Chains A and B, each alone.
Chain A
Amino acid sequence: DQQVKQNSPSLSVQEGRISILNCDYTNSMFDYFLWYKKYPAEGPTFLISISSIKDKNEDGRFTVFLNKSAKHLSLHIVPSQPGDSAVYFCAARKDSNYQLIWGAGTKLIIKP
């Protein structure tokens, strides 16, 4: 049972344009969502998060949008830069649980 889904295994975007990474979830009990970035052979690094009581959170070039009715969240990166090329993971936390439920990841490729 895959509770957090990232349906696009990869995404290619021109440098300077907007990158939009999508994530869908099935469990309405999730109360907190996080995005992580991972380079090959390194551990993931935390990017940005959003509580279920909000619909938008912005940090510099990164903005996360949450649509609870659609059980969908997205990460917008604008403008996209070459260093943004990485695998991006969406994760969700279930209230009072110590675990994060992870998506399979989307590989973002920024073309020069």
Chain B
Amino acid sequence: SQTIHQWPATLVQPVGSPLSLECTVEGTSNPNLYWYRQAAGRGLQLLFYSVGIGQISSEVPQNLSASRPQDRQFILSSKKLLLSDSGFYLCASGSAVTYEQYFGPGTRLTVT
């Protein structure tokens, strides 16, 4: 079974500072990878997805970017954080065969 690792678990950053959240996947190869954000009391908003190394699709134009330098590594970045970037960020792994997506434990980001 797949295991999704995310770190850090919580992060408090000032407005205008950079961001780097990392996600790594174990137990599978060539997964589809996803970054979601859940704002307080809201559903899951898909931010980025990747079907392979270096292949990134953005769903929502915003202050964030994503990269996939290795098959099982997915990174979410920002050069300058905004207050509106606060939220709960989730990394997920899935495949086109099984359809299910498996989630990491999430990162709680607070921008102050």
Specify which of B32, B51, B96, B103 is in contact with A44 (CB 8 Å cutoff).
Answer: B103
Contact with A along B6-43 (1 / 0, CB 8 A): 10000000000000000000000000100000000011
**Is the CB–CB distance between B106 and A89 below 8 Å?**
no
Per the CB 8 Å criterion, the residue count for chain B at the interface is 24
- Interface members, chain A 17-42 (any B CB < 8 Å): 32, 34, 41-42
Specify which of B32, B46, B106 is in contact with A42 (CB 8 Å cutoff).
Answer: B106
Q: Tell me the bound Cα distance from A41 to B106 in angstroms.
A: 7
**Is the CB–CB distance between B43 and A100 below 8 Å?**
no
Give the chain B neighbours of A102 by CB distance below 8 A.
43-44, 46
Per the CB 8 Å criterion, the residue count for chain A at the interface is 18
Which chain B residue has the least Cβ–Cβ distance from A96? B96
For residue A7, CB closer than 8 A to chain B, the reply is no
Q: Given that A43-B4, A44-B44 are known contacts, is A100 also in contact with B108, CB under 8 Å in the complex?
A: no
Q: Tell me the bound Cα distance from A108 to B100 in angstroms.
A: 22
**Is the CB–CB distance between A32 and B4 below 8 Å?**
no
**Is the CB–CB distance between B105 and A99 below 8 Å?**
no
Give the chain A neighbours of B104 by CB distance below 8 A.
43
